[in-house]
Structure 1
Amino acid sequence: MVSVDLLDVASLLTDEERDIQRTVRSFLADRVAPHVPGWYEAGTFPTELVPELGKLGLLGMHLTGYGCAGTNATSYGLACLELEAVDSGLRSFVSVQGSLAMFALWRYGSEEQKSRWLPLMAAGEAVGCFGLTEPDHGSDPSGMRTVARRTSSGWVLSGSKMWITNGGLASVAIVWARTEDGVRGFVVPRETPGFSTRDIHGKLSLRASVTSELVFEDCELPLSAQLPSASGLRAPLSCLSEARFGIIFGALGAARTCLETALEYAKTREQFGKPIAGFQLTQQKLVDMAVAYNKGLLLAVHLGRLKDAGKLQPEQVSFGKLDNVRVALAIAREARTILGANGVTLEYPVLRHANNLESVLTYEGTSEIHTLVLGEKLTGLPAYR
């Protein structure tokens, strides 16, 4: 297969980063990729994969200690790229587990909370979810209605969260609620009385992923359930920045698969006596897609280097999430046109990726919100308040 890395971006990576990327890609090609169309069509997530992902070191891989791999951020990004090259649902699982639930515990949890949950989650023996979005409050989490009331013995949690990846699988939920002292985070194990989940069905996107509603009905928690170092909305928003970073790379994985699929198809599909890759309009589509993909890859590696240096800013994460996702979605749609009618079947991955990317475009901050984040950075005026 011809490489679509026209700028030799791979040469910018270290040997270790390339080895990690190759290892993840090889595992997914052998163990996962052949089964994804079936999982997508059935609307199921392969829970049997979770311990294997843990064994490979992919869960919380950019965190240190507690059984986590401790890789650099760029390596984590490259792993996300390979995961999403197979399916966005698989990358979403890893992102939520490592960059939302595990990161929240690692950054804001007590030593007792970290020691109890992080080793299990890193090994894939426990699944986590992250409860921030609510039915009526997505882009504006400051309006959340879930509340935690202080009692003499602990907390009582009431409310609901919506569109929560991994919710129905989770052994533990990291839940954000309004208290008398502002927004706080809580560790809610699955078996807690009053805590239940309802999976969301009928999805046309991210079908090979579990998406759920979390319901808290006078859910009693001990004092030790609170994340001691999390105060205000800055805490959950910092977790979202971690997850968005993975998306910057991950979306390009979906784009690469679509581009490679369209390129190989165009070289073998004949019309008017020759492969359609030999026609000028098809070559223009392929070139435009390849140029957009390579620019996105350069952006991702640059932001990875900033993150590894401790210099990455939230606005730069918004830049990467905004542009790389919309570029990936445009590539998926254009690739579908090259495949013609074949592009709408599960025999080829392009429309599955396009459908998945519609969700990626929305979650972890819509394109509108990230546009306004950058608008505020440029003008100093917050248009969304």
Structure 2
Amino acid sequence: MQFGVFTVGDVTVDPTTATAPTEAERLRAMLRIALKAEEVGLDVFATGEHHNPPFVPSSPTTLLGWIAARTEKLQLSTATTLITTNDPVKIAEDYATLQHLSGGRVDLMLGRGNTGPVYPWFGKDAREGLPLAVENYHLLRRLWREPVVDWSGRYRTPLQGFTATPAPLDGTPPFVWHGSIRSPEIAEQAGYYGDGFFHNNIFWNIEHTEQMVRRYRERFEHYGHGGADQAIVGLGGQVFMAETEAAAKRFFRPYFDNAPVYGHGPSLEEFTESTPLTVGTPDQVIERTLGFADYAGDYQRQLFLLDHAGLPIEVVEEQLEILGREVVPVLRKEFERRRPAHVPSDPPTHRTLVAAGPNAPHHLVEPARALAPTGVGR
């Protein structure tokens, strides 16, 4: 099972000091987080993509390219690559380039994002978000799998005799996760193609997460990719840890109360009860995280959000030390102990996809056994 961290890259005032990092300081802090993640034995670093304040990661491949040059094992990913407002041609070429530079240590999570105004900034209509995501992804699959593409669609100019450069490393496209917190159509799309499904459940209750993951698993099996329990699932989570629960809550409470994404809303206690946020001891984080599989099934990737709400980078690095040294080793052991032998323990990587050969299902534009579902374009 893969464990890692993701960042949303917010620039937030530290409520205990009334100071905020500069954009440059925040970007450098994200780089430090990635290096520390590899140092403490985590598997994945993922960055969001945002084009509005107070967030800074507007260019994920630039950030991940720098991290690739400074790391050896860390899997590089995104917490959202905007499939709606980015041109599929640019996604194909940017992430293929990152594949080559990182030696294949890259996958990406596609999503629509949660900022409505971003659509007109890039000449798109937010009301067309779902069909735009479907069409753009199908074009992306073709660009990564066909040497010459002739294409016309609804949302961009046609392509005639187009070849994306560079081609994917070893002729093998990156593995794709479809990220969604609220759209069953995206769970359907992930199941149709046999891709991964990432439910960033940091704001959602158990019942909603269970429903979304179940739909994806059912559609994964329906389209002939394997049993429902073999579908590739990832989950999010938020934690803050200290030696005692009281100490963790005492330190974290001012950050929670003033956070731009959930501050001034439900109390810390209400939020930890209804969502996966865990503020307490490492043992409490272990117990809570192991419980995710009780409603989501055995899954393959767990990402934690640690660096948000104005927490100082030194504190985040301390949290990474605790996560990597005390929490993740126990989670690895316990998740694998309970996992049935026929259920994948890890998501596909470049190495495993290459080993599967050029005729493996991953290389198909259209799934061989799929029946065209309503709402998924061809």
Establish whether TM, by shorter chain, passes 0.5: no
Per the normalisation by structure 2, the TM-score is: 0.28
Per the normalisation by structure 1, the TM-score is: 0.28
Which structure's residues are more often helix, by fraction? 1
